[in-house]
Structures are given as C-alpha cells and as structure tokens.
C-alpha cells in the first residue's frame, strides 16, 4: 500500500547540533550512515548530554567534508560555532569553545563500543526530585502528564543514550509534513518547523488523518531499498522549545503538543532491512 513519498533526508553528524540535508544516503542497521557519530560529554556531571539541557549546542552545526562511505569508518565531521569559527570534531580547541559556549565542562567524543559502560552511564541529575527532573527534561508543567517511559528501551534508565550509539531511543526518526501542518493550523501562534523536531526522514503522506504516523506503530514501512519497523510514538522533550537559527524560544510548542497529541510528534523506527534511500522514493506500508 503506497502512503506517499520521501520529501527530505537529514543527517546530524554531532548529536544536538544542526545537521545537513542529503539527496540520498545508505541506511545501515544502526541508522543513516554518519548520523549521530559524535556527541558532547559533560565531564562535571558525567554522561552524554544534548540540547535539552544545553540549548547552546543548537547554535552549532556539523557536516562532513568528505563522502561518508556505505561501510567502514566514518570521516571526522567539521563543526561550525555560532561565531563562524570552524573546527574538526576531534580538535581539543573545539571542546574548550563548547565549554565556554555552554558553561559546562564538555568534551566531544566519537561513538564508543557498547561495552564502555562508564562512557554511556547517565550523569547526575540537575534536580534531586526525580519528578522535577523529568518535568524539566520533557518541558512539562506540573498539571501535564509525563510520557509513558515504559515504551522506551529499559537501558535508558541507566544510560544517557543507547550504548554503542548516541541515539536517545531508536536509530531512525520519521515525521510527516501532514503532522506539522496539523499542528501549525491548530496553533498558528507557534512555528512548527521541521527543524525543531530533527527528523531523519521527512515524509509527504497521502492521508486524511491529522497524525498519520500514530497508526504505523507496530507496522513496517519500505522506503526506497530500506525497510523499517515502527517502534513507538516519539515523546518530545524540552529541546523542541529552544531558540536557534531564526526560530524563537517557545514553551508553547510543548503546551500545544501535550494538548493535541499527548506530547508526541512523529515516530521512532528500527532498521529492519538496510538499503539506499533517495528523496522522492515511494513509501510503502508492508505490514
């Protein structure tokens, strides 16, 4: 069953930084080749950290200057700071610049093996009360429900990201333009730009539903040569409310998401069959 077409492909070489748009990419078992290959680590509190707590990272952008191969080692990305300065991701001067930018003692790391438990272990919370900590992470008010964390991989209760990767949950995030248009129409005072939500694959869907992705959970999609298993709705966090580029800080984005779709937007997927995807590829519901 055809659902529509692949509109855009986005890769984020460094977790929580702006990324790059591609016209095609190889999708491996662990996600888009080159995606989230590097991340910042908070050496003070411990743990891999991102823009939900360090929004200044969103003002940075990362890209590959070399072609990312379909297999083997990835090249080292280049990072551009808000000042316009550029550094290789492995340059120790970049870590100093990021520390100054965020006010946290940061280092930048490539992916390490999943066996490096200490590297991925969750850092100290910002709040002693865990409910307060979760509300801050997910930008929820006291009278708003928290996401159902039981839908997420249990390892995330002790690890900052999925060990062996810098993914917050699953390796692929899909979002439709229909869902963005629904939110924009219902809440015109906020800007529901895809950049706020960082999809890997932005989809043009032929559907009457306001949030078509919700119906795909537990099913499978084929896009181009690759097949994906849709695992769960994506519970959104504080990162979607932060300012960067020309997008303003807007806490009302989360108020709208909670009211309209239980705080979710888009879906997480796992890669079932690796393969190449290209802009314009057909999207097929295969189960």
How far is CA 127 from its chain centroid?
Answer: 24
Contact present, 182 and 175 (Cβ < 8 Å): no
> What percentage of the chain reaches a pLDDT higher than 70?
100
Does residue 40 carry a pLDDT above 90?
yes
| Interatomic CA distance for residues 279 and 277, integer angstroms | 7
Q: How confident is the model at residue 257 (pLDDT cuts 50, 70, 90)?
A: very high
Q: What is the pLDDT of residue 30?
A: 96
User: What is the pLDDT averaged over residues 237-244?
Assistant: 97
Does residue 112 carry a pLDDT above 80?
yes
175, 200, 202: which is closest to 257 by C-alpha?
Answer: 175
125, 199, 119, 202: which is closest to 165 by C-alpha?
Answer: 119
Torsion angles phi and psi, residue 204, rounded to 5: -95, 115
CATH number at residue 252: 2.40.33.20
Tell me how many domains the chain contains: 1
Q: How confident is the model at residue 255 (pLDDT cuts 50, 70, 90)?
A: very high
> What percentage of the chain reaches a pLDDT higher than 90?
97
pLDDT digits (tens, 9 = 90+) for 188-214: 999 999 999 999 999 999 988 999 999
How far is CA 230 from its chain centroid?
Answer: 15
Does residue 130 carry a pLDDT above 80?
yes
pLDDT digits (tens, 9 = 90+) for 8-26: 999 999 999 999 999 999 9
Q: How confident is the model at residue 29 (pLDDT cuts 50, 70, 90)?
A: very high
9, 30, 2: which is closest to 200 by C-alpha?
Answer: 9
Q: What is the pLDDT of residue 151?
A: 87
Total residues found in the chain within this entry: 287
Q: How confident is the model at residue 260 (pLDDT cuts 50, 70, 90)?
A: very high
Q: What is the pLDDT of residue 66?
A: 95
CB atoms within 10 A of CB 10: 21
- Domain with 11 in it: 2-285
| Interatomic CA distance for residues 262 and 103, integer angstroms | 33
- To the nearest whole number, what is the mean pLDDT of the chain? 97
Does residue 1 carry a pLDDT above 90?
no
| Interatomic CA distance for residues 287 and 277, integer angstroms | 19
Does residue 133 carry a pLDDT above 80?
yes
């Amino acid at each position: 069953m055809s659902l529509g077409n692949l509109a855009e492909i986005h890769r984020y070489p460094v977790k929580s930084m702006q990324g790059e748009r591609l016209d095609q990419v190889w999708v491996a078992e662990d996600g888009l080749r080159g995606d989230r290959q590097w991340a910042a680590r908070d050496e003070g509190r411990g743990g891999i950290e991102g823009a939900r707590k360090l929004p200044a990272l969103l003002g940075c952008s990362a890209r590959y200057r070399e072609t990312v191969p379909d297999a083997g080692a990835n090249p080292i990305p280049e990072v551009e700071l808000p000042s316009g300065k550029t550094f290789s991701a492995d340059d120790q001067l970049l870590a100093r610049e990021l520390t100054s930018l965020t006010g946290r003692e940061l280092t930048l790391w490539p992916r390490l093996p999943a066996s490096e438990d200490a590297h991925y272990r969750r850092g100290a919370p910002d709040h002693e009360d865990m409910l307060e900590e979760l509300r801050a992470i997910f930008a929820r008010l006291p009278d708003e429900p928290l996401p159902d964390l039981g839908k997420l991989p249990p390892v995330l209760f002790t690890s900052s990201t999925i060990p062996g990767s810098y993914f917050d949950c699953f390796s692929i995030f899909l979002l439709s333009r229909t869902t963005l248009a629904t939110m924009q129409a219902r809440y015109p005072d906020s800007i529901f730009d895809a950049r706020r939500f960082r999809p890997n694959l932005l989809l043009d869907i032929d559907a009457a539903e306001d949030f078509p992705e919700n119906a795909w959970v537990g099913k499978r999609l084929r896009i181009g040569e690759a097949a994906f298993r849709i695992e769960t709705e994506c519970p959104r966090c504080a990162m979607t409310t932060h300012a960067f580029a020309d997008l303003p800080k807007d806490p009302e984005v989360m108020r709208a998401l909670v009211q309209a779709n239980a705080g979710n937007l888009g879906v997480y997927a796992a890669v079932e069959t690796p393969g190449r995807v290209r802009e314009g590829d057909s999207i097929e519901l295969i189960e």
